[in-house]
Amino acid sequence: MGPVTGSLALLCLCSLGCCVPVGTAQPTQTSLADGKKSRGDVPDILPVSELEPTNLASDFETSYNYVLSRLAGMDQAIHSLNVGHYTLDVSVAQLMERLSRMDAKVAELEDKIREVYHHSKDNRKEIGRLEGCQKGLRVGYKCYLVYNNYEDYAGASRKCLERGGRMGMPRDRREQEALADYVKSFFRPGNWPVWLGVNDLATEGVYIFDDGTPVSYFQWRRHFLSSQPDGGKRENCVAMASDNGDWWDHYCDRAMNYMCEFDDRVEL
């Protein structure tokens, strides 16, 4: 580097505040620290943070007391739960006792209702028998009453039983002729068939009365155009024509009037 170039470099350094006189020693780290000390920038001894002393016995006692407090809380909660369960058990026991007493009263009431029902059935039968004998036709010890209500064969049989009787079952010529006149006068001037208690439901062609006894007297319609019975296995129930008293076989589910008979001497 020539004299001129060196002078320019020195001038630039001086303009930036970095001009150091030639021959002056560069400051060291130690001298800088000494300078700061003289100014009070750096303390002589830096403070060292001290750790709190640890006592193992004290930590164990704290944990132990915490566990004990938690256990005490759990014990109190369990006690409260037991008290609640006991109260619930007492309430359930009282409820069961009340239900038991109620069941006994319900059973007693059912017995009374059943007794009243039986008395009602008996009364209805007695009333039906009295009505049949007062309003209907008396033939010997039996009374017959025609009901102008439409029922199929099974329904008519059930209605007669509920009234304390049975479906009309003429067993001989005398009863047949008396019933034919009665039915004819009841429906005059029309011709309305009336169910009798006669059928061959069990065995085709073997006719029995509604009480299960065999039929020994018949009054089938005899005519060259429509002799009875002619229904075969399709028509198994018998009705009486109201114009002349002849018997006809019909479909058992056909709805028509019916006639009940009542025994005026003994209970049916």
Q: How far are the Cα atoms of 7, 56, 78, 84, 183 from residue 70, in angstroms, in the given order?
A: 86, 21, 12, 21, 99
237-240 vs 247-250, strand pairing mode: antiparallel
- pLDDT at res. 189: 82
Q: Where are the domains of the chain?
A: 136-263
Q: How far apart are CA 257 and CA 250, in angstroms?
A: 13
Q: How far apart are CA 268 and CA 143, in angstroms?
A: 12
Is the pLDDT score of 47 beyond 70?
no
194-203 vs 256-263, strand pairing mode: parallel
pLDDT tens, 149-162? 999 999 999 999 99
Give whichever of 15-19, 29-33, 39-43, 245-249 has the largest mean pLDDT.
245-249
pLDDT (mean) for 51-70: 75
Mean predicted lDDT score pLDDT of the chain: 81
- pLDDT at res. 39: 54
Q: How far apart are CA 173 and CA 53, in angstroms?
A: 132
Query: What topology does CATH give the domain 136-263?
Result: Mannose-Binding Protein A; Chain A (3.10.100)
Phi-psi region of 4 (alpha: psi -120 to 50; beta: other; left: phi over 0): alpha
pLDDT tens, 121-142? 788 888 888 898 999 999 999 9
Q: How far apart are CA 133 and CA 80, in angstroms?
A: 78
234: which residues sit within 8 A by CB, 6+ positions away?
Answer: 251
pLDDT tens, 189-226? 888 999 999 999 999 989 999 999 999 999 999 877 77
Q: How far apart are CA 168 and CA 260, in angstroms?
A: 5
Tokens 């017995």 sit on residue: 111
- pLDDT at res. 63: 85
Is the pLDDT score of 27 beyond 70?
no
Is the pLDDT score of 3 beyond 50?
no
* Contact (CB, 8 A) for 237 and 250: yes
Phi-psi region of 232 (alpha: psi -120 to 50; beta: other; left: phi over 0): left
**Which tokens go with 178?**
């008396």
* Contact (CB, 8 A) for 30 and 37: no
- pLDDT at res. 145: 96
Q: How far apart are CA 168 and CA 143, in angstroms?
A: 9
Higher pLDDT, 60 or 143: 143
